[in-house]
Amino acid sequence: MTPLRQFAADFAKSRAAVAGLGIFALLLLAALLAPWISPQNPYDLAGLDLLDARLAPGARSAAGGTYWLGTDGLGRDMLSAILYGLRISVTVGFASTAIGLTIGVCAGLAAAWFGGWLDGFLMRLVDLQLAFPSILIALVLLAVMGQGLDKIVVALVAVQWAYYARTARAAALVERRKDYIEAAVALALPNARIMFRHLLPNCLPPLLVLAAVQAAAAITLEATLSFLGLGLPITEPSLGLLISNGFTYILSGHYWISLFPGLALLAAVVSINLVADRLRDILDPRRVR
């Protein structure tokens, strides 16, 4: 059996993980196809009908359709708003994870490979940052930079890179003592080539697990910051902002405006965490299979 098929077989042994992967794939597909599958364009103000405002789930629209998940205060179809919101939340989560991973891995590998003052400097920076909770760092950065899709990605990257740097360095320190690295050094290969072609592939397993966990954390953190009004502007409503909009209606019993975006967020985060849990079980050599 090829290693990849072995890996897939191991993964499939956990039904929860397979279910998580399935749900996540569905959500991803829904987010990608949002403009084509959602019943209306929730941000085309001409398509909204104020007479349809705050309708309960399953209500009929004035135009004859059905609002399966109800409507918000402007008569916007919640199902469509959620599909578009999911798109933004997933984009932010993935973009920040990808950029954070790249920066963190480069810093971690460089720290492990070159050592010395670079290692000391980077790791003190990581220690300093990890001593404070992520939300505090993100709050301060957003307070300084203001709102915006690019700004929230920057804030999330700034929060995340330290985790990747620490993990990459720890893995690389173990690997660099092995014979194949010594062989590569003896061949006088350039540093960059050893780091990225030899060291990096062997450091990947713990980084993959961490990236999955952090992607879920990034999506949650973005939603939280947007809920507090510090993340995305109203023109780019992620799930967090939708929930925040529904907050004002909860007290009057219009529960669906906050409930359903929250369930979508929950489904995304739980499914990623289920996959991450399984990845950890398979990839962590310290665990008994």
Partner 1 sequence: MLAFCVRRLAQSIAVLFVMSLLVFAGVYAVGNPVDILINPQADQAEIARTTAALGLDAPLPEQYLVFLGRAATGDLGTSFAFNAPAIGLILERMPATLELATAAMLIAVALGIPLGLWAGLRPETPAGRAIMGGSILGFSLPTFWVGLMLIMVFSVWLGWLPTSGRGPTASLFGIAVSFLSVEGLRHLVLPAANLALFNLALIVRLARTGTREAMRQDYVRFARAMGLTEGRIVLGHVLRNIMIPIVTVAGVEFGSIIAFAVVTESIFAWPGMGKLLIDSINVLDRPVIVGYLCIVVTLFVAINLAVDLLCAWLDPRVREGENA
What residues line the site for partner 1 (CB under 8 A)?
A: 128, 131-133, 135-136, 139-146, 216, 220, 223-224, 227-230, 240, 243, 246-247, 250-251, 253, 255, 258-259, 262, 265-266, 269-270, 273-274, 277
Is the Cβ of residue 92 or residue 142 nearer to partner 1 in the bound state? 142
Please give the Cα distance from 246 to 254 (Å, whole number).
8
Q: Report, in Å, the least distance between residue 108 CB and partner 1.
A: 21
Q: In whole angstroms, how close is the CB of 2 to partner 1 at the nearest point?
A: 31
Per-residue 3-state assignment (H helix, E strand, C coil) for 128-196? HHHCCCHHHHHHHHHHHHCCCHHHHHHHHHHHHHHHHHHHHHHHHHHHCCCHHHHHHHHCCCCHHHHHH
As measured in angstroms, the least distance from the Cβ of 188 to partner 1 is: 35
Tokens of 230: 């510090």
Nearer to partner 1, 33 or 128 (CB): 128
Crossing angle for the helix pair 3-12 and 256-283, to the nearest 10 degrees: 130
What is the C-alpha to C-alpha distance for residues 67 and 55, in angstroms, rounded to an integer? Answer: 8
Nearer to partner 1, 154 or 204 (CB): 154
Contacts 24+ apart (CB under 8 A), 40-43: 40/76, 40/77, 40/80, 41/80, 42/76, 42/77, 42/80, 42/81, 42/84, 43/84, 43/235, 43/237
Q: In terms of CB distance, is 270 or 283 closer to partner 1?
A: 270
| Distance in Å, CB of 239 to partner 1, minimum | 9
The answer to whether 198 touches 181, Cβ cutoff 8 Å, is: yes
C-beta atoms surrounding 2 within 10 Å: 7
- Residue among 137 and 189 whose Cβ is closer to partner 1: 137
Rank residues 113 and 161 by Cβ distance to partner 1 and give the closer one.
161
Q: How far is the CB of 83 from partner 1 (least distance, A)?
A: 18
Q: Which is nearer to partner 1, 68 or 247 (CB)?
A: 247
Question: Closest approach of Cβ 262 to partner 1, in Å?
Answer: 4
Closer residue to partner 1 (CB): 180 or 247: 247
Distances from the Cα of 60 to the Cα of 56, 74, 171, 258, angstroms:
9, 16, 57, 20
Cβ at position 11, least distance to partner 1 in Å: 17
Going through 13-133 in order, the beta strands assigned E by DSSP cover 59-60, 66-67
Helices and strands in the chain, H and E counts: 12, 2
Instruction: Tokens for 229, please give them.
Output: 């009004």
Shortest reach from residue 209's CB to partner 1, in Å: 15
